[in-house]
């Protein structure tokens, strides 16, 4: 059995469910990429983001924080004319802004991994939902994290985006009861 949202999906979505979604992610670059992708998804479907992920990685220097934090307005303009990526100026500028904040964290010997996973004592939150309707789009915890990130200066980190990030990064395991992805 798999999660209900995967039935009827294409192979890309199935592979994402089976190999990535809900698996604990501690890789710093991977966490930054996922945070960026979740922000890019706002108003779009995850399928669109997954279909463009390869091109987004190419366009955004494989989501290397140090490189992105050095982007200039000229880089933004180049990204805005790239038809292979999601071309939303506010979202692109948010990625650059967020890279600068993460870079500053790194300079203080802090990390996204310790920030996010420290909030939940490095233990995934395991939910026991049996039906997709039970899964929330945001929680008090995602609201709290969103507020903290916004105070730090992050952009495109609303509570719904953060909850989706938490699910995708494995901080929260929302695989339905009976789905083999729970293991």
* Known active-site residue 93: no
Q: Is 106 annotated as a binding residue?
A: no
Give CA–CA dist 53/105, Å, rounded. 25
SS3 172: strand
Give CA–CA dist 168/21, Å, rounded. 5
- Which entry of 16, 21, 71, 163 is annotated as an active-site residue? 16
* Nearest of 45, 49, 44, 50 to residue 18 by alpha carbon: 50
Give CA–CA dist 154/173, Å, rounded. 24
- Which entry of 5, 20, 28, 46 is annotated as an active-site residue? 46
- Which entry of 21, 33, 38, 71 is annotated as an active-site residue? 38
Q: Is 3 annotated as a binding residue?
A: yes
* Known active-site residue 7: no
* Known active-site residue 134: no
Give CA–CA dist 89/71, Å, rounded. 13
Q: Is 26 annotated as a binding residue?
A: no
Report the length, in residues, of the chain. Answer: 183
Q: Is 175 annotated as a binding residue?
A: yes
Q: What are phi and psi of 15, to 5 degrees?
A: -60, -40
Whether the CB-CB separation of 48 and 91 falls below 8 Å is answered with no
- Annotated binding-site ranges for Zn(2+): 3, 17, 175, 179
Residues in binding site:
3, 17, 175, 179
Q: Which residues are annotated as catalytic? A: 16, 38, 46
């Amino acid at each position: 059995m798999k999660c209900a949202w995967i039935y009827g999906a294409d192979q890309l979505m199935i592979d994402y469910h089976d190999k990535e979604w809900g698996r604990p992610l501690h890789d710093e670059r991977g966490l930054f990429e996922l945070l960026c992708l979740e922000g890019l998804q706002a108003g779009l479907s995850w399928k669109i983001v997954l279909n463009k992920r390869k091109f987004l990685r190419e366009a955004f220097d494989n989501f290397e924080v140090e490189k992105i934090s050095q982007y200039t307005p000229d880089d933004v303009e180049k990204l805005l004319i790239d038809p292979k990526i999601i071309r939303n100026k506010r979202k692109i500028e948010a990625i650059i802004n967020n890279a600068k904040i993460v870079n500053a964290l790194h300079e203080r010997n802090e990390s996204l991994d310790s920030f996010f996973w420290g909030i939940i004592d490095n233990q995934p939150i395991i939910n026991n939902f049996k039906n997709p309707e039970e899964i929330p789009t945001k929680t008090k915890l995602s609201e709290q994290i969103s507020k903290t990130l916004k105070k730090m200066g992050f952009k495109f980190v609303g509570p719904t985006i953060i909850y989706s990030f938490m699910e995708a990064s494995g901080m929260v395991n929302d695989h339905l009861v009976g789905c083999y992805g729970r293991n």
